[in-house]
Structure 1
Amino acid sequence: MSELRIRGLRKSFDGHPVLHGIDLSVERGTLLALLGPSGSGKTTLLRVLCGFERADGGTVEIDGRRVVGDGLHLPSEQRRVGYVPQEGALFPHLSVADNIVFGLPRAQRRARHRVAELLELVGLPASFATRAPQQLSGGQQQRVALARALAPAPTLVMLDEPFSSLDAALRLETRQAVAHALAAAGATAVLVTHDQSEALSMGHEVAVLWRGKLIQTATPQTLYRQPVTRELASFVGEAVLLAGDARGGSATCELGTLPLSVPVADGAVDVMVRPEQIRVLHAHEAAPSGAPSFDAIVRDVVFQGQDAAVTLQMQSAAHTVVRARVPGYRSPQLGERVTLTVDGDATAYPRG
């Protein structure tokens, strides 16, 4: 497959800027998850890369070949980009095999070129080739759509929220199958999504678009643990934000003095920890030796099976309310008096 290079990409609609000078690189064989809330510009960026929309400025290179820039707008059919839309968009009057080979030259369509190989690649039996799309589940249809996108051996695969219409169990299964197929094909791919868990679980890297600007590109672990803004921290999972004071690589807040994952200038900050970092200890349990601990009362519990979201009111002068996430079997009772400690590093954001 290929590498993708985007430099200074801009796009407006009716004078309203949608993409503000996007710079982005996707290395060969990488699955990049493009994450952002609705209206952030994700779909516009995808459509510009596919050639469905013309950019206002900037350049795009796919495998060293410029497809956008300096008045150049290479048509979609000349870019060798595979595209998997949200609903799969299979042709209901064609068989699975005919859908897969639809974009190939006539001779290859007649020969059903690589149909069995591609079905195996996406985790479907060869016998599905003769079926109609409506005989398949939603997840199976999405796998066929991916096989169709891979059939012409594209230089880049674009996936536009391909799992959004699937139920939770089928979504997870289909994600895994698609990720495996892309890896087996050695594909360079961009997955557009607003689903944080999808981006974090599938992407080798995650790029976050926010109001048309690319604000962070990082590994899933770095993005989750060290988001660059407090708004992004709250978007990528749950965040507990507390007023604090940074000094010498640590920050002091109502949960104690916590080491910072990234140093910030000394002064007033907002301290961020994830709910799963807050350990909830029952009355008979002792805090780890030397670890600061704080008394709290359980005000709410939302049991979710494997885990539980717990709202806690700290018994400090400020009576601060925080949220913790605990394993389901350790779920406390309403009104229970517990002790809190914090595991791991925190992230801090300067105020002002």
Structure 2
Amino acid sequence: MSELRISGLRKAFNGCAVLHDVDLAVQPGTLLALLGPSGGGKTTLLRVLCGFDRADAGTIEIDGIRVVDDNLHVPTEQRRIGYVPQEGALFPHLSVTENIVFGLPRTQRRARHRVAELLRLVGLSDDYAQRMPQQLSGGQQQRVALARALAPSPSLVLLDEPFSSLDAALRLETREAVAEALAATGATAILVTHDQAEALSLGHEVAVLWEGKLIQRAAPQTLYRRPATRELAAFIGDAVLLPGIAENGIAMCPLGRLQLVAPVPNGRVDVMIRPEQIHLLSASETAADHSTVQDALVTSITYNGRDADICLQLSSAAQSIIRARVPGHRSPKVGERVRLSVDSDVIAYPHR
């Protein structure tokens, strides 16, 4: 287990800044999910960490050893980093065993060092050892790529969107296997992804890189419940943003009087509510917690199976369209009149 420290890291291509003074510390044994939209700088940061690209400024330390500063660029092969690319990138002419031991010293390659152990670690049996990459599914190839990255006992493991090419069911199965393998080794790891669910479910912590700047780092639940900006709120998950007035920790908005979970200056605000916080009640029901209830008309429904997205028109505000999310089996009908209540506290951003 190793600690990673990045300070003031900058990188530009052809005069266009991609990383802006990035500061980041990852504690030993932590799996950090690095989340952000495409073009936000995630892959560039990974490439600089690996040594594939040179930093323009800043420092990087891995397990207390400096590998990057203004006058230092330690070669990739000397950084003790395990790297798992998007497509696995296995050598097609080598067997699974030969792929796993490829980066090891010659004596360890001949001894097939730790192959059986590593295969079991990533959830594959010994039977896979002599298979060729083309005989593996996409998820199996990604597991072999992780085994290859773990073979030299690296100080740090970097995963660059390793599940992006897999279908939904295989993606879930593979990422669970990868998470278990990383936890079993106690590896310090960074997972780069633009998939919000993936980042929130896998990361012990999530850091968001936005236009080359690290704008928030938090535990997954905190990041989802209290995103730093309204843009991040919409990126992390579906967000209902409503105009309101904040006063002494309370926000008044089209959905009533709501408690704010974080302080905000008094005045005009945009109130952020997650769709699943909005509960649908029948016309005769009252909210269990006696919260404010608003009447609404169901205007459309998108049925997703286990849940449904409901579009609603508030009776009290002609221009207010609200989106709620309910369990699929509790989906109402278009044209039905319902009552709405908001569960839990909400956050707000100063209006601009």
- After superposition, the C-alpha distances for 1:243-289 in whole angstroms (9 at most, x for unaligned) are 01111111111111111111111111100010000001123533225
* Alpha-carbon separation, structure 1, partners of 2:289 and 2:5: 51
In structure 1, the partner of 2:270 is 270
* Alpha-carbon separation, structure 2, partners of 1:197 and 1:79: 31
1:1-352 equivalence runs, <5 A: 1-352=1-352
- After superposition, the C-alpha distances for 1:84-137 in whole angstroms (9 at most, x for unaligned) are 000000011111011000000000001100000000100000111011111111
On the 8 A contact 2:298/2:337 being kept in 1, the answer is: yes
* Alpha-carbon separation, structure 2, partners of 1:216 and 1:58: 20
Residue identity over aligned pairs, in percent, reads 71
* Alpha-carbon separation, structure 2, partners of 1:91 and 1:223: 38
With normalisation by structure 2, the TM-score equals: 0.99
Deviation at 1:229, TM superposition (A): 0.1
* Alpha-carbon separation, structure 1, partners of 2:60 and 2:6: 5
* Alpha-carbon separation, structure 1, partners of 2:234 and 2:318: 23
Name the CA shift for 1:289/1:49 in 2 (closer, same or farther; >3 Å): closer
* Alpha-carbon separation, structure 1, partners of 2:286 and 2:345: 21
* Alpha-carbon separation, structure 1, partners of 2:47 and 2:53: 6
Aligned partner letter, 2:85:
P
* Alpha-carbon separation, structure 2, partners of 1:318 and 1:269: 20
Aligned partner letter, 2:167:
D
* Alpha-carbon separation, structure 1, partners of 2:282 and 2:48: 54
On the 8 A contact 1:179/1:202 being kept in 2, the answer is: yes
Aligned partner letter, 2:115:
V
* Alpha-carbon separation, structure 2, partners of 1:246 and 1:71: 51
* Alpha-carbon separation, structure 1, partners of 2:144 and 2:129: 10
Aligned partner letter, 1:197:
A
* Alpha-carbon separation, structure 2, partners of 1:150 and 1:263: 45
* Alpha-carbon separation, structure 2, partners of 1:317 and 1:198: 37
* Alpha-carbon separation, structure 2, partners of 1:333 and 1:285: 17
On the 8 A contact 2:280/2:341 being kept in 1, the answer is: yes
* Partner SS state of residue 129, structure 2: helix
* Partner SS state of residue 341, structure 1: strand
Aligned partner letter, 1:270:
D
Deviation at 1:291, TM superposition (A): 1.5
- After the TM superposition, which parts of structure 1 deviate over 6 Å for at least 4 consecutive aligned residues? none
* Alpha-carbon separation, structure 2, partners of 1:167 and 1:150: 25
Name the CA shift for 1:289/1:222 in 2 (closer, same or farther; >3 Å): closer
* Alpha-carbon separation, structure 1, partners of 2:284 and 2:115: 62
* Alpha-carbon separation, structure 2, partners of 1:89 and 1:141: 8
* Partner SS state of residue 130, structure 1: coil
Name the CA shift for 1:289/1:212 in 2 (closer, same or farther; >3 Å): closer
Name the CA shift for 1:147/1:289 in 2 (closer, same or farther; >3 Å): closer
Aligned residues: CA RMSD: 0.8
On the 8 A contact 1:250/1:263 being kept in 2, the answer is: no
* Alpha-carbon separation, structure 1, partners of 2:155 and 2:314: 55
* Alpha-carbon separation, structure 1, partners of 2:182 and 2:21: 29
Deviation at 1:4, TM superposition (A): 0.5
Query: Please, which moves more after superposition, 268-277 or 258-267?
Result: 258-267
On the 8 A contact 2:63/2:155 being kept in 1, the answer is: yes
On the 8 A contact 1:52/1:76 being kept in 2, the answer is: yes
Aligned partner letter, 1:333:
K
On the 8 A contact 2:56/2:70 being kept in 1, the answer is: no
Alignment coverage as a number of residue pairs: 352
Structure 1 gaps, min length 5: none
Aligned partner letter, 2:36:
G
- After superposition, the C-alpha distances for 1:177-208 in whole angstroms (9 at most, x for unaligned) are 00000000100000000000000000000000
